[in-house]
Structure 1
Amino acid sequence: MNVFRNRRLASLYALPALVFVSVFVLAPLALNLYYSLFSFNAFSPNKTYIGFDNFKRLFADPVFYTAIRNNTLYAVISFVFQVGAALVIAAILEHKLFQKMQPFFRTVFFIPSVISFVVIGLLWQFIYNPDTGIINLGLKALGLHALAQPWLGDSNLAIYAAIWVSQWQYIGYNVMLFLIAMHNIPKDFYEAADLDGAGPVRSFFAVTLPSVKEMILVASMITVLGAYKLFDEIYILTSGGPGRSTEVLGTMLYRAAFRNDEMGYAASIATVVFVITMLLSLCQIKLSGTAKDD
């Protein structure tokens, strides 16, 4: 009887959260999938049922594969810098030689991550300006005129220029996450490694990495999932150009919904984004072992 009462009480406590998730998460997802089966615009009183034609059109669109490639490229590069490089930077700052200056460096690295990307995007547009930008002016001042490029105007370079801005902005956030995790590592571990004759590099691989693996997983999934929900960075810097070479799923969805007024087609793109992020989330659960029973 007590077990039954406890279950009822637990269900009662969980009810508000279940209602919230159902209304604001599950219901919109179901409606989005439903709308993806129709052709309509924002002001149309009627919707025309077309089945999976929106998805057929999407998978036949070469821009879709450009967007997938750009999102994946963003995810890979972000993983290398925002996880790999951030982990190395955090380990360096945690070393006893830099601990006194760590508050200064923490502030320097973290400040860009709290600034609105609208501000950062406008700043980097000036930096990348082919005529007055600091990058090209600096290269020309060094006599490296051949290296000066129209960074956001070249279809081969624009996506890399946009990706770099994100690395500069968000690497500090993950540095802070790793520093927090490293602060929780018992000092005895490092003392034992020193007694065994381990240097900084060996201690990093033998002590630091195993101790922060959960934070590495969290940072990795935040970074990779964010790569497939990318929008602000590309929209502000290039709007998907030049020639749609920097198009990503987010800007493709925005273009379909708010420029072309093709709501059903936009819903199909949103469904694909949901499927990708859901699969990545399931991978996270599998890798973290949270699905296993204790």
Structure 2
Amino acid sequence: MRGKRLFIATFLVPPLLLYGVFVVSPYAQAFQISATDWGGLSPEYEFIGLDNFRRLFGDGTFWNALRHNALLLALLPVATILLGLFLASMISVGGRRDRAGVQGVRGAAVYRVVYFFPQVLSVAIVGVLWKEMYAPNSGLINGALRAVGLDALARPWLGDPRFAFWCLALVLLWSNVGFYVVLFSAAMQSIPRDIYEAALLDGATRATTLFRVTVPLLWDTIQVAWVYLAILAIDGFAVAQIVTDGGPGYSSDVVGLRLYKTAFTDSQFGYASAIGVALFFLTLSVAAMFLRVTRRDRVEM
């Protein structure tokens, strides 16, 4: 028994130490720094208690960024999951009649590769790609509009405060939906064929089968996807920093980007750490809320 415990400890202690040093320790330091006025470079700083958090509650730029994250939280998971389910249901089977008795799309494997392609690109490439597409003069979007005679619809998309945030949301949707198409498609393959045959005999249409049969059977997968997309919506830093940099005039700012600029542009690491602590508790609260909803759903079923 003692040898078994020693064997387990030998394998567990090193990774736990690494996790503590490189993951837990930075979190703990962020809480400590959030109570100081540290500028990031000087070894001198003063403890100021909760002053950074009091400042946070009165910071209009922070609340503006948080409002944008709230919009992403309300829209991105819903749009991504609905679009992912729709596309997955269209390509779940190719080249033969699908499980609902409807002819599937030929070349479904090719479609899966196309939809999943954004996942193999780095965030930097995705950001630069879409930034070029949104370019007012040489961009693909305005070029396509002018090519079909819709010059009046051409806009400086990233330079107009009315459209910058929605352009950013579209990039986040495009860059993530492919993963969930493949995820939902794989989950659909595990549903017994007999269930679809029974729905077909009852006269169910493809849409009815999707919402009355497929979605309930995939609910656990959908809930996991919802949590991950909610966390992504609360962050959104990398794409926002590359595509719009929060502009113009804070119109596409997000909390993660506000934290970055406060620390590395304004050299206010203490205040930036306070933003990070607030973001940590916000993410934790959202994840806990979704897990709570998941537990209730399972109890009711």
TM-score (norm 2): 0.88
- Distance (Å, rounded) in 2 between the aligned partners of 1:188 and 1:61: 58
Q: Does 1:231 align with 2:237?
A: yes
TM-score (norm 1): 0.90
Deviation, structure 1 residue 27: 2.6
Deviation, structure 1 residue 43: 1.8
Counterpart in the other structure of 1:28:
26
Q: Does 1:59 align with 2:65?
A: no
Structure 1 residues 251, 176: CA separation in 2 closer, same or farther (over 3 Å shift)?
A: same
Question: Deviation per CA, 1:247-270, whole angstroms, max 9, x where unpaired?
Answer: 111111110111111110110011
Counterpart in the other structure of 1:130:
136
Paired residue for 2:268, among 259, 262, 268? 262
Counterpart in the other structure of 2:278:
272
- Quick check: 56-65 or 96-105, which moved more? 96-105
What letter matches 2:155 in structure 1? Q
What letter matches 2:178 in structure 1? G
Deviation, structure 1 residue 79: 1.4
Deviation, structure 1 residue 75: 2.3
List aligned pairs for 1:1-294, cutoff 5 A. 12=9, 15=13, 18-94=16-92, 96=98, 97-98=103-104, 100-289=106-295
- Distance (Å, rounded) in 2 between the aligned partners of 1:90 and 1:247: 32
Structure 1 residues 256, 201: CA separation in 2 closer, same or farther (over 3 Å shift)?
A: same
Deviation, structure 1 residue 141: 2.9
Question: Deviation per CA, 1:164-217, whole angstroms, max 9, x where unpaired?
Answer: 112112110110110111111111111111122222122112220111101101
- Distance (Å, rounded) in 2 between the aligned partners of 1:225 and 1:9: 38
In the alignment of these two chains, the number of paired residues is 289
- Distance (Å, rounded) in 1 between the aligned partners of 2:16 and 2:239: 33
Structure 2 residues without counterparts, runs of 5 or longer: none
Deviation, structure 1 residue 156: 1.4
- Distance (Å, rounded) in 1 between the aligned partners of 2:115 and 2:226: 18
- Distance (Å, rounded) in 1 between the aligned partners of 2:235 and 2:164: 19
Q: Sequence identity of aligned pairs in percent?
A: 36
After superposition, the CA RMSD in angstroms is: 2.4
- Distance (Å, rounded) in 2 between the aligned partners of 1:247 and 1:29: 24
What letter matches 1:122 in structure 2? V
